[in-house]
A and B are shown apart, each in its own frame.
Chain A
């Protein structure tokens, strides 16, 4: 149970596939236009319920409740060994040679 007043992430479809703009490529036309927004939950609810939130600019938005206290998970990714190779190569060309050993 998520309490009224908690900070949450909601989701809804803005346009169904049948409503998409004519100029959209075929692969995009097969899927809905989706929206995600965060706000303060306006009533007690469970994950997956249709809810109302009050956003940071005090707009009302409706959608399916996805997460409470949503947070960012992006990072620096997995190690890419090629980057060290590049680093070694440019240093070697500019500063390398016997003098530097």
Chain B
């Protein structure tokens, strides 16, 4: 008997397909209501820091260098108020196998797939994670399929995504490319069902545990070098796993560093729109993912996401596309470091933030990503121009995503804007209630307080306001 492959029928088989491909029964962490036992899930399904360090050190991942950006700090001090201008550092995650911090996430996910006896792994991503999974799968001798959203209906693809496809193929993966639309998930499910491979999701406890070493290393490296933890760690935020894993690792090291999120402001652009797909110049680290995933983490491709960034974010800073391009060029010209732009989102926020902090304080931008053809400010700006985006110098606050890219006419115009975290916390609560459609139990209220890094009073008040 052949299976019904219609959209509706495949989506209806989703729970079964997900269960078979996850190697993890999420139901045992459920309460039957809004709450679930996040920490137990991380403990039982994740790995200890020591286990991850071992896995990663055997697979070309981790122990990346910290680089102090003295000249960029000097630039910030030229324009900062007297006495201000914190020291800016980056953790050079581009030196991981596959060229980004995503190698950490893939190392544990693919290790788990191998351990559970799967013959291959499948992942749905247009980003660095595809290359990371392909790289780790190559090391473990597993088959790998990467499903990518790549082209608009004219068959035009973002140069950055096309470069990612190339890299995945170079690392031995099969790449399935799709046009724009959330039904990518449908194709992803059909491939999981057909192959019986492991779902190397970005959002399992294995994947997120893999990022914990990043935060842990920052604490250890700073203690060794400076005898103290950095005051602030900034993470470029999209689906929230980068920030969540890093924050958890910092906590495991007992670090008191504040954790801030940074995203490129793409407000006004619809992520599933065919005509707007190639109007943006960032494919990750932007608010189009950052806002929906922070305020509703369980929209991901697993029943319960291990990436729950609102638990950890103390400030959420947004910057404009033109500002990130400017800082990426400045990084090359002042520091001699050429890195991919998406990873420099947090660096842009750090440049603005440094001007608020004292000179003896330290800010760590916790990652960089590789760069190359397609995935570089030059082709990305050139592509934007070809797609009718106006590029000019001016004040970045006038930038309208999808219409123009405004390069700051002076670095003093680079600003980090605080997103309204109180509003985001309330929206998470609203989304939780709407998705479960239940009267929240006491346990739910406590869970929501943890989810939003707030307290019972805040949660009750937010619910009363709905």
A residues with CB within 8 A of B: 14-15, 19-21, 23-25, 27-28, 30-38, 55-57, 59, 72, 74-80, 82-83, 85-87, 89-91, 93-94
Contact = CB atoms under 8 A, between A and B. Distances in A.
A14 to B, nearest CB: 6
Interface of B: 6-7, 71, 74-75, 78, 120, 143-145, 150-151, 153, 159, 162-163, 165-166, 169, 172-183, 186-187, 191, 194-195, 270, 272-276, 326, 329-330, 332-334, 373-374, 376-383, 385-386, 391, 393, 407, 410-411
A81 to B, nearest CB: 10
Nearest to B172: A56
Contact of A35 (B143, B178, B393): B178
B179 to A, nearest CB: 4
Contact of A37 (B78, B177, B182, B276): B177
A57 B373 contact: no
Nearest to A14: B187
Contacts of B378: 76-77, 79-80, 83
Contact of B382 (A19, A24, A33, A80): A80
Contact of A28 (B174, B273, B326): B273
Contacts of A91: 333-334
Contacts, number: 156
Contacts of A75: 159, 373-374, 379
Given A35-B187, A86-B329, A72 B166 contact: yes
Contacts of B178: 14, 33-36
Nearest to A31: B153
8 contacts: A20-B183, A24-B182, A27-B273, A27-B276, A28-B274, A34-B151, A36-B151, A38-B175
Contacts of A34: 151, 153, 178-179
Contacts of A38: 169, 174-175
Contacts of A23: 182, 272
Nearest to A13: B179
A72 B379 CA distance: 14
Among A31, A36, A79, chain B packs the most CB atoms within 10 A around the CB of A36
B390 to A, nearest CB: 12
B411 A93 contact: yes
A56 to B, nearest CB: 4
A94 B166 contact: no
A83 B270 contact: no
A57 B174 contact: yes
A90 B330 contact: yes
B333 A87 contact: yes
Contact of A57 (B7, B144, B330, B333): B144
A86 B176 contact: no
A38 B380 CA distance: 26
B274 A27 contact: yes
B186 A80 contact: no
Contacts of B330: 86-87, 90
Contacts of B274: 25, 27-28, 30-31
B333 A78 contact: no
B20 to A, nearest CB: 17
Contacts of B143: 56-57
Given A80-B381, A82-B407, A90-B333, 7 more contacts: A19-B7, A59-B195, A75-B379, A78-B382, A79-B378, A94-B71, A94-B75
B183 A15 contact: yes
B376 A94 contact: no
B7 A15 contact: yes
A74 B156 CA distance: 11
Nearest to A34: B179
Contact of B379 (A21, A55, A77, A93): A77
Given A57-B145, A59-B194, A72 B182 contact: no
B381 A74 contact: no
A80 B341 CA distance: 15
Among B177, B187, B393, chain A packs the most CB atoms within 10 A around the CB of B177
B181 A33 contact: yes
What 6 pairs across the A-B complex have the smallest Cβ distances? A77-B382, A77-B379, A74-B374, A31-B153, A56-B174, A87-B333
A89 B413 CA distance: 13
B186 to A, nearest CB: 7
Nearest to A55: B174
A46 B198 CA distance: 36
A83 B270 CA distance: 28
A41 to B, nearest CB: 15
A19 B273 CA distance: 16
B250 to A, nearest CB: 31
A87 B407 CA distance: 12
Nearest to B152: A31
A94 B78 contact: yes
A83 B181 contact: no
Contact of B75 (A33, A74, A90): A90
A21 B183 contact: yes
A93 B120 CA distance: 52
